[in-house]
Structure 1
Amino acid sequence: MKVRALDHIVLCVNDVPATRRFYERVLNMESREERPGKWSLHFGTHKISLQGAVTSPSIACETVPGSGNFCLLTDTPLEEFILNLKRQGIAIVDGPGERAGAMGKLLSVYFKDPDGNLVEVSNQL
């Protein structure tokens, strides 16, 4: 067996509506209600599913808000993206700096979402 691609990730969050608003505003993602009360964020061909911290028991019941850490690629020049973060009052945790990505070198900046998940946004170098 060979893994081909990443289909989606799941973030456990304290406040699904606040998380949706953050990702819509900061990263221009589209939120969709997949079924009643079950929301996800979409960008390109990718998806981030949102799991409320206070939900009915599920297979992911021990997941806690703020434990996510993921990288998103953008074609927007990183300097422009950083200015947008600053305009919105979002603190930069680290960067910009060079990192190793799945397909080569990246120039990355890191910030936290409302739950403390670490979000890395990068340009491929």
Structure 2
Amino acid sequence: MGIVVERFDHIVINCRDVEATARWYVEVLGMTLEKFGPAARTSLKFGNQKINLRPLGARELDPHWDTGAVEAAGSEDLCFVTSATPDAVMDHLNSCGVVVIKGPVAKIGALGEMVSHYCRDLDGNLIEISVYA
């Protein structure tokens, strides 16, 4: 059968402004900012997961950057899970000045039924914040 993948370790998001993007994820989603490596790259930690932020044009700045075939900001569709209530999610997004483009709506996630709110980050990535029933 070969190998069986267990989990994600990290994902990488291309962004126009690393510092502004990091600030958005820290303030809106409560992630923790971390600098790593000799170049002090930026990542966002939450739970056992991590998102690395890569500036657009990184490949041109340093050809050793590993990137996907197409480098674009705003092309991600990410779903995050919280233990907060759906009402608390809506209240928090509103208090942060984040426009909820859809929600609350019922969805089916990896673990079953959930309630989701959708918004966009600074680069236009679709961000889904979900609460399991």
**TM-score normalised by the chain length of structure 1:** 0.94
Q: Which of residues 25, 29, 36 is equivalent to 1:34?
A: 36
Q: Deviations over 1:12-43 (max 9, x none)?
A: 00000000110111111111111224111001
- Which whole-Å CA distance do the structure 2 matches of 1:105 and 1:12 have between them? 30
Structure with the larger strand share? 1
The yes-or-no answer on 1:84 pairing with 2:86 is no
What's the counterpart of residue 104 of structure 2? 96
Offset of residue 84 of structure 1: 1.1
Alignment of 1:49-60 (within 5 A): 49-55=52-58, 56=61, 57=63, 58-60=65-67
Indicate whether 1:69 and 2:77 are aligned.
Answer: yes
Question: Amino acid of the residue matched to residue 11 of structure 1?
Answer: I
Q: SS in structure 1 opposite 2:97?
A: coil
Q: CA deviation at 1:83?
A: 0.8
- Residue 118 of structure 1 is matched in structure 2 by 126
Gaps of 5+ in 2: none
Instruction: Give the whole-Å Cα distance in 2 for the aligned partners of 1:23 and 1:59.
Output: 23
Determine the C-alpha separation between the residues in 1 that align with 2:120 and 2:114: 19
Name which of structure 1's ranges 58-67 and 42-51 shifts more when overlaid on structure 2: 58-67
**SS of the residue 1:82 aligns to:** helix
- Give the fraction of aligned pairs with identical amino acids, expressed as a percent: 34
Higher Cα Rg, which structure: 2
SS of 2:7 mapped into structure 1: coil
Aligned length: 125
C-alpha distance in 2 between matches for 1:59 and 1:88 = 33
Following TM superposition, by how much is the alpha carbon of 1:2 offset from its aligned partner in structure 2, in angstroms?
A: 1.0
Deviation for aligned residue 1:9? 1.2
**Moved runs in structure 1, 4+ residues, more than 6 A?**
none
Match of 2:18 in 1: 16
